[in-house]
Chains A and B, each alone.
Chain A
Amino acid sequence: MRLSEVVDLLPARVVYGTDSLLAAEIGTAAASDLMSDILARVEVPDILLTRLNNTQVVRTASVFGIKAVIVVRGRPIDPKIAELAKQEEIVLLSTESSLFESCGKLYSNGVRSTTPTEDAQQA
């Protein structure tokens, strides 16, 4: 599905996203509050769901090549984070839904996780 459809599905508020960025096709997602855990993965998910609302979620997305960050539970997003998302061209969404609900909705619409972090456990 497209990111713009994710916006309608959750529903989510677009904190940063251009029409062309929101048109991106997504298939995988990861949910974590631990950025190193994301960075230890072999595969890059299209979406990162998190309850963290700091600049490092956007930095992590940019470093790792994640297209969109979804901040759950309607946690407030500081304008400087929106500004960073714009600079790094990362879609930033905010939803009132919980992490569990958001993942459930995405999963029922065909979004899947990337390969588990087997690699990280071995390291």
Chain B
Amino acid sequence: MDVRYAKTQELLYELKIAEVMRRELNTFSPVMTMSELRDILRDHRISGVPVLEGEELVGIVSIEDLIRWLSAGGEDCAIAAEMTKKPECLYADQPLVHAIKRFDESGFGRFPVIDRATGKLAGILTKGKLMEGVLRKLESEIEEEELRRYRASHIFEDITADYKEIYLTYDVPGKDFDRAGSASTGMKRNLKRLGIHPDIIHRLAIASYEAEMNLVIYTDGGVMEFHISPQEVFLRVKDNGPGIEDIEKAMQTGYSTAAHWVRELGFGAGMGLSNINKCADKMEIDSTPGIGTTLKIRMFTGPQHKPDGGA
């Protein structure tokens, strides 16, 4: 089966009827008349009301009932004669997706909603209320992300200090191919929130990802440190071996010491370091065989940043 998820679909499972139903209710008693109903529906611009006897729900009466009554002559009578008795109900704790299914199957315009614990009427759900609830939730989720992004992107303006820097580190385990790249994709999201220029994010994500793959493929793991200041993003990638024998050779496109299994996975073609060099504004590499390698990448975000990239 296709694994298809949509954000709205997820919302329909998450949101409960209680969160979107109408709670302020006009209710009727069965002895009130159809002409009173007509006036109330008109004055409150509503399309239906539950009918209660004491606290017990005995029926629901809607604009459709009113029309039927009018076209049959409109002779005044008690609501009890025209209402739908023992109407189908929904429970307040049910997810919206269930309500949608019931609206679809029944063709009804509204359902009374019952509180499962007390068995009493808690509200009424119409298709309009349902739609409104979903839209409101969608909107608030979007606003939340925007607000987060706004806050993060103004952090350097909002905080005062003589020297400002955000310092983020990731521990990258070696040989864990499934997790490989998660530091770089996570960092890409962080940089977006911080409001860094998209071109710099793009180049840094590629450089960081290639460096992360090198850690996973060739070493037993290492640390990636990101330093973000108003002037630059600085990345230091540090491992404890095995180190690079000949850095000059390693920088050449196509030179590789990768094992066959690495190539089978789509890496190890000798392009990693040259890709990093191409993406970085500045790159430095220090390596001692048997000790380890430190790679430093700088992206200038201040006035000297080069929007067309390349070093």
Which of B77-85, B161-169, B263-271 lies at the interface with chain A? B263-271
Contact, CB under 8 Å: A39 / B178: no
Q: Could you tell me the distance in whole angstroms from the C-beta of A83 to the nearest C-beta in chain B?
A: 9
Interface status of A54 (Cβ within 8 A of chain B) = yes
User: Contact check: which of A17, A39, A123 meets B206 at CB < 8 Å?
Assistant: A39
Partner of B266, one of A14, A34, A40, A88: A34
CA distance A77 to B271 in the complex (A): 27
CA distance A14 to B177 in the complex (A): 24
Look across to chain B and name the residue whose beta carbon is closest to the beta carbon of A65.
Answer: B202
Query: Does A15 lie at the interface of the complex (its beta carbon under 8 Å from any beta carbon of B)?
Result: yes
Shortest Cβ distance from B242 into chain A, in angstroms? 20
Q: How large is the interface on B (under 10, 10 to 19, 20 to 34, 35 or more residues)?
A: 20 to 34
**A56 adjacent to B184 (CB under 8 Å):** no
Kindly list chain B residues whose C-beta atoms are within 8 Å of the C-beta of A15: 2-3
Residue A118 interfacial (CB < 8 Å)? no
Interface assignment of B260: CB less than 8 Å from any CB of chain A: no
- Cα of A62 to Cα of B266 in the assembled complex, Å: 15
Confirm or deny: B6 has a beta carbon within 8 angstroms of a beta carbon on chain A. yes
Instruction: Give the A interface residue count (CB, 8 A).
Output: 36
User: B178 contacts A18, CB within 8 Å?
Assistant: no
A17 to B6, CA, bound (A): 8
B181 touches A64 (CB 8 A): no
Contact A123 B253 (CB under 8 A): yes
**Beta-carbon contact of B178 and A88 below 8 Å:** no
Partner of B267, one of A16, A35, A44: A35
Shortest C-beta distance, B211 to chain A (Å), equals 12
* C-alpha gap A17/B2 in the complex (Å): 9
Q: In the complex the two chains form, is B180's CB within 8 Å of A40's CB?
A: no
Asked whether B177 lies within 8 Å of A18 as measured between CB atoms, the reply is no
- Decide yes or no: A19 and B6 within 8 Å by CB, A36-B272, A56-B265, A59-B180 being known contacts: yes
Name the segment of B40-48, B56-64, B140-148, B273-281 touching the other chain: B273-281
Q: How far is the CB of A38 from chain B (nearest CB, A)?
A: 9
Give CA–CA (A19, B6) in the complex, Å.
7
Q: Which of A1-56 contact B (CB under 8 A)?
A: 13-20, 33-37, 39-40, 44, 50, 52, 54-56
B185 located at the interface, meaning its Cβ lies under 8 Å from any Cβ of chain A in the complex: yes
**Quick one: given A54-B177, A123-B277, are A63 and B185 in contact (CB under 8 Å)?**
yes
- Which residue from chain A places its CB closest to the CB of B268 in the assembled complex? A36
Residues of B within 8 A of A71 (CB): none
- B232 an interface residue at 8 Å Cβ cutoff? no
CB-based contact A120/B209 at 8 Å: no
Q: Is B188 engaged at the interface, CB distance under 8 Å to the other chain?
A: yes
Q: Pick the contact of B5 from A36, A40, A55, A86 — CB < 8 Å?
A: A86
B4, B180, B182, B210: the one contacting A14 at CB < 8 Å is B4
Query: What chain A residues lie within 8 Å of B7 (beta carbons)?
Result: 18, 20
In the assembled complex, B205 has its CB within 8 A of some CB on chain A: yes
User: Which residue of chain B lies nearest to A40 when distances are taken between CB atoms in the complex?
Assistant: B275
CB under 8 Å from chain A, chain B span 1-33: 2-7, 9
A70 within 8 A of B: no
- In contact, B5 and A63 (Cβ under 8 angstroms): no
**Shortest CB–CB separation between residue A72 and chain B, in angstroms?**
14
For B265, give its contact among A39, A52, A63 (CB under 8 Å).
A52
Could you tell me if A54 and B265 are in contact, using CB atoms closer than 8 angstroms?
Answer: yes
Judging by beta carbons under 8 Å apart, are A59 and B185 in contact? yes
- Footprint of B on A, CB under 8 Å? 13-20, 33-37, 39-40, 44, 50, 52, 54-57, 59-60, 62-65, 80, 82, 86, 88, 119-121, 123
Task: List 13 A-B residue pairs with CB atoms under 8 Å apart, sorted by A's residue number.
Answer: A14-B4, A15-B3, A17-B4, A33-B266, A35-B266, A36-B210, A36-B267, A37-B269, A44-B202, A52-B265, A54-B266, A56-B180, A120-B253
Besides the known contacts A15-B2, A17-B4, A64-B202, 7 further A-B residue pairs in the complex with CB atoms under 8 A apart: A18-B7, A35-B266, A40-B278, A59-B180, A60-B181, A63-B181, A120-B275
